[in-house]
Structure 1
């Protein structure tokens, strides 16, 4: 008997803790180059360990091109099996993205992807999570750096060819787990 498909999963991750911006330099270029702190690097690895321990291995990663998001992703990848997260898209539109932009980015994820990891920034990640499951009290605690929200796509295990990223909305994804490993 063939294995039943698992539901599609979306993992929203706010980047880990980054160094404080240079005082007086408010340029986008300076902000894009802010690296993770030592604690942020450790938190990124913990996120990867948590994902691995919970069997959440992304097929596709949608990541902001900022240094801190890429370093967060690198820490995660160091804790995952080598074959995980082979497909990484650096999406400039994720940097400082609003809700509508994040929805559009997710809807462009490859249709064959079962687990998508989106690594981004606040307030966009937090707003996106609240939009996806507005009634869930777990999200009331805020989206601290290195927080993970795991959403399952309703019905994607029953009708995988009809329930895809391209047609997902706030009624098709529900919060499964919210944590900060």
Structure 2
């Protein structure tokens, strides 16, 4: 693990509450999906490799989630399926159609429903909602470089890591600190 990853791992270890926002892994083009339906797009081989690599990296950082809320789209569910063997039986998983066809407010509503006492929540969803949520939840003490990265949009299988002292259910726009943005290649 490189020095930047070690530093991020230490910050995560000190955090009271952690939110991991993730965009699904690489999927087939919509024209290859059954009946051309976007929600049915499946992962390609690269996407399966990305999911596994990200899960391994998150585990090394101490970011195995207590709870996961995942979009109901095939590519998001398949991404999570590729991660769960690394995470083990610990995470409670919920699938939500609203994370596929909703927007930032739907994602915020899902975060607000997080049971008190949950330390690490992972939300696995889609662009542009994932990068928008990372930007909107980030407060003034967020890492400027990370803010620049999410401002450009999050590539497939990229994660944004946010922390705060407040319970996840109490997070509002600007209440968290964006401390890391990691792509699959960062997790080697």
Superposition TM-score, scaled by structure 2 size = 0.81
What is the total number of aligned residue pairs between the two structures? 166
Gaps of 5+ in 1: 157-162
The 2-side partners of 1:171 and 1:139 are apart by: 15
Alpha carbons 2:27, 2:42 under 8 Å: kept: yes
> What is the rounded CA distance, in whole Å, between the counterparts of 1:47 and 1:5 in structure 2?
21
Determine if contact 1:15/1:120 at 8 Å carries over to the other structure: yes
Partner of 2:155: 144
1:180 to 174, 179, 183: 183
TM-score w.r.t. the length of structure 1 is 0.84
Could you say which residue in structure 1 is the equivalent of 2:4?
none
Unpaired stretches in structure 2, ≥5 consecutive residues: 1-12
3-state SS, counterpart of residue 95 of structure 1:
helix
Shift of the 118–24 alpha-carbon distance from structure 1 to 2, 3 Å rule, reads closer
Looking at structure 1, the residues matched to 15 and 154 of structure 2 have their Cα atoms a distance apart, in angstroms, of 27
CA RMSD of aligned residues (A): 2.2
The 3-state SS of whatever aligns with 1:46 is helix
Distance 1:68 1:164, change over 3 A: same
Aligned to 1:96: 101
Q: 1:25 to 1:66 in 2, by over 3 A?
A: closer
